[in-house]
């Protein structure tokens, strides 16, 4: 019988093992050293709670499913009725074709054709690679259409803390600001995390804190990567999610109301733009015809002794309380180094 998530692409390196699915090109499971690193789901299940899914061509929520771009109004189907939003892009439930594979890596591609609400064409590519350092995921998107298009990228892995729940797990989240969200999950501004219950800039136990928040103003190490660590205080097991500079936002979610999550794991979602970006213009990448976006994130298990990390780069705090009135006004120069022809 065929699995609900299609063909199961298994890759391994030493004692690392991962499964990537044909449907959505998602990360169904990842383990290392005999320990669960990513909270996934079974081969006989339909992916629940977005576990391991790829979020393209936008992550998170788009209020009312409507936005304006290049002087035209667009409307997408609403697929989250509770908030009246179009959520997490257009490729989570489509088949991706296998284009390359070896023992420790797999590459999948999907052509996103123009459709109502997103009349643009993208050639999408996802590369999953295992090594002694852990898992690396490289995402690329090329505008193969005749006109500019709006674009954003994200991923939805749930990190397992190495303990029964995240309550006792220690979280280090080097983010200085958190977005204020309305009751439909759309940003209304931002504020400093300092002095609040969402300040994890110094590692500490999560406790009973409920998390469903988008963080930004990220502190990066000298290599340009931001690192979020979730570890068990008992034995130091857990994982660190890292992301390169195109990913300027991190959505964290403790899944309190979802039986399949229920604080047993923590979603750490790297995103290139915040919720509702196609409406606000904040962080949206505009790809010209022939241009390619590329971004990389990964997971490093902490079941083994961790290496010394590069010193953090100091960077002034930025005020993100205001948002752009339209996508066309997005500052293109800020993302040009992640886009190539």
Reported as a single tens digit per residue, the pLDDT across 212-267 is 999 999 999 999 999 999 999 888 888 999 999 999 999 999 999 899 999 999 99
Rounded CA separation 340/246 (Å) = 13
Is 174 inside any structural domain? yes
Tens of pLDDT along 38-97? Answer: 999 999 999 999 999 999 999 999 999 999 999 999 999 999 999 999 999 999 999 999
Rounded CA separation 36/32 (Å) = 7
pLDDT band at 179 (very low <50, low <70, confident <90, very high): very high
* CATH code for the domain of 141: 2.70.98.10
Is 35 inside any structural domain? yes
Is 3 inside any structural domain? no
At 323 the pLDDT is: 35
At 339 the pLDDT is: 78
Range of weakest confidence among 139-143, 175-179, 299-303: 299-303
Residues 6+ apart with CB under 8 A from 22: 5, 6, 7, 8, 9, 95, 96, 98, 108
> Which regions of 200-265 does DSSP assign to beta strands (E)?
204-205, 212-218, 226-231, 238-243, 249-253
At 303 the pLDDT is: 60
Q: Which domain holds residue 166?
A: 8-340
Q: How many domains does the chain have?
A: 1
pLDDT band at 325 (very low <50, low <70, confident <90, very high): very low
- From the number of C-beta atoms within 10 Å of its C-beta (0-12, 13-18, 19+), residue 52 rates as buried
The tokens describing 142, both together, are 């090329």
- Residue 312 clears pLDDT 50, i.e. is over it: no
Is 1 inside any structural domain? no
Is 306 inside any structural domain? yes
Residue 219: Cβ within 10 Å count: 16
Residue 102: Cβ within 10 Å count: 9
pTM (predicted TM-score): 0.90
Is 281 inside any structural domain? yes
Is 155 inside any structural domain? yes
Nearest to 90 by CA among 67, 126, 118: 118
Place of tokens 């299940």: 45
- Residue 328 clears pLDDT 50, i.e. is over it: no
The tokens describing 325, both together, are 């009135």
Share of the chain above pLDDT 70, in %: 89
């Amino acid at each position: 019988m065929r699995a609900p998530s299609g063909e199961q692409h298994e890759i391994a390196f030493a004692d690392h093992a991962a499964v990537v699915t044909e449907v959505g090109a998602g990360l169904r499971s990842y383990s290392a050293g005999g320990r669960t690193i990513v909270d996934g789901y079974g081969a006989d299940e339909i992916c629940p709670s977005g576990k391991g899914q790829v979020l393209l061509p936008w992550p998170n929520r788009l209020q009312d499913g409507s936005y304006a771009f290049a002087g035209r109004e667009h409307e997408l189907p609403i697929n989250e009725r509770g908030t009246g939003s179009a959520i997490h892009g257009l490729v989570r439930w489509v088949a991706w074709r296998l284009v390359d594979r070896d023992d420790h890596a797999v590459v999948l591609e999907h052509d996103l054709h123009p459709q109502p609400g997103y009349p643009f064409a993208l050639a999408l590519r996802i590369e999953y690679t295992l090594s002694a350092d852990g898992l690396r995921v490289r995402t690329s998107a090329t505008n193969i259409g005749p006109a500019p298009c709006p674009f954003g990228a994200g991923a939805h892995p749930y990190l397992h803390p190495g303990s029964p729940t995240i309550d006792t797990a220690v979280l280090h989240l080097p983010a200085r600001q958190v977005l204020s969200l309305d009751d439909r999950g759309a940003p209304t501004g931002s504020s400093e995390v300092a002095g609040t219950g969402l300040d994890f800039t110094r590692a500490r136990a999560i406790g009973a804190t409920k998390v469903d928040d988008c963080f930004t103003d990220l502190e990066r190490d000298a290599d340009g990567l931001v690192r979020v660590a979730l570890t068990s205080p008992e034995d130091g097991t857990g994982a660190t999610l890292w992301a390169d500079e195109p990913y300027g936002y991190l959505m964290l979610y403790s899944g309190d109301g979802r039986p399949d999550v229920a604080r047993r794991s923590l979603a750490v979602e790297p995103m290139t733009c915040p919720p509702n970006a196609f409406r606000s213009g904040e962080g949206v990448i505009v790809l010209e015809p022939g241009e390619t976006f590329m971004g990389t994130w990964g997971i490093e298990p902490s079941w083994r002794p961790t290496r010394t990390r590069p010193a953090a780069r100091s960077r002034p705090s930025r005020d993100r309380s205001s948002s752009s009135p339209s996508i066309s006004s997005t500052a293109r120069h800020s993302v040009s180094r992640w886009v190539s022809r």
